[in-house]
Amino acid sequence: SVNPMAYEAQFFGFTPQTCMLRIYIAFQDYLFEVMLVVESVILKKLDGFPGCKISPLQIRKSTEKFLLFMKEHLDKLFSKMEEVLLQLVLNIPKNVLLPEDKVHEQYPYSKEQLEALQDEIHQLQKQYRAEASAGQALRAELEEQKAVQAELEKILQWFDGLENTCREHGTGNFKESFAFLTQNAKRLQDVLKDVEEKSK
């Protein structure tokens, strides 16, 4: 099974094998291209020797022979190079964690732990909402209290005004005044009775 080297791909932004494949294909293309150039140069040089018996077919066979040889070596050497690069350069050792994954080291949360954390957050949100609406209700009550307090104080001021009016007209305390009057009236009644009895 091929190791997808996904972690390396996360870091490099490309899969190492793809990178190596791209390099290999490029090298191979270059080798082919350069061989074609070599062959065309040799054919052109041969044009300069009309009497020579070397046919283009022979040159082509030579080219193929050399190319085959080079290709075999390219493949052998390249697979060695690939092995070394994939092992030592384009790889991330098992014990290494990429910086962006530090969270996994710091917070190895299980599913249950995460759900518990999310529940706690929901709970806090509900609590906050409840507190916020409680705050509104309390403030509304404060406003209500102001109005009621003003009303009650108005009534008390009313009483004060009334009592001040009485005081200004010499009657500080109606109750005492009436009690005094009643007393006097009773005393008058007694006197009146006395007088009547004596006069009889």
Partner 1 sequence: AAPGRAQMFATVVDTFLEKLVAAGSYQRFANCYRCFYKLQPEMTRSIYDQFISQLQASIKEEIQEVKNEGNLETVFNSLDKIVEEAKNREEPAWRPSGIPEEDIRSAMVPYLLKHRSYLQKILKEKEEENRKVAESVLAGRDRIAELQQQIQARKHAWQAISKEQRELVMTFKE
Partner 2 sequence: PTYLQTSQARVLSTKPNYQQILDEQGPVLRCLELVLDELQQTLKLLQ
Residues 97-126 contacting partner 2, CB under 8 A: 123, 126
For residue 167, state whether it binds partner 1 (rule: CB under 8 A). no
Rg (CA), the chain: 56
Interaction between residue 130 and partner 2 (CB under 8 A):
yes
How many residues line the site for partner 1 (CB under 8 A)? 96
Query: Among 33, 72, 131, 153, which residue interacts with partner 2 (rule: CB under 8 A)?
Result: 131
Residues 45, 164, 172, 194: which binds partner 1 (CB under 8 A)? 45
CB of residue 140 to partner 1, shortest distance in Å: 10
Residue 185 burial (CB < 10 Å; 0-12/13-18/19+)?
exposed
Q: Which two tokens stand for residue 29?
A: 């293309």
What minimum distance in Å lies between the beta carbon of 134 and partner 2?
A: 5
147 binds partner 1 (CB under 8 A): no
Residue of 68, 98, 137, 191 that binds partner 2 (CB under 8 A): 137
- Nearest distance from C-beta of residue 2 to partner 1, angstroms: 15
Out of 84, 157, 161, 190, which residue is the one contacting partner 1 (CB under 8 A)? 84
| 17 near partner 1, rule: CB under 8 A | no
Number of Cβ atoms within 10 Å of the Cβ of 27: 15
Q: Provide the mask over 104-133, with x wherever binding to partner 1 is found by CB under 8 A and - wherever it is not.
A: xxxxxx-x--x--xx-xx--xx-xx--xx-
Q: What is the DSSP string of the chain?
A: -----HHHHHHHSS-HHHHHHHHHHHHHHHHHHHHHHHHHHHHHHHHT-TT----HHHHHHHHHHHHHHHHHHHHHHHHHHHHHIIIIIS---TT---GGGHHHHH----HHHHHHHHHHHHHHHHHHHHHHHHHHHHHHHHHHHHHHHHHHHHHHHHHHHHHHHHHHTT-S-HHHHHHHHHHHHHHHHHHHHHHHHHH-
Q: What x-and-dash track marks residues 178-197 binding partner 2 by CB under 8 A?
A: x--x----------------
Interface pattern 168-197 for partner 1 (x via CB under 8 A): ------xx--xx-xx--xx--x--------
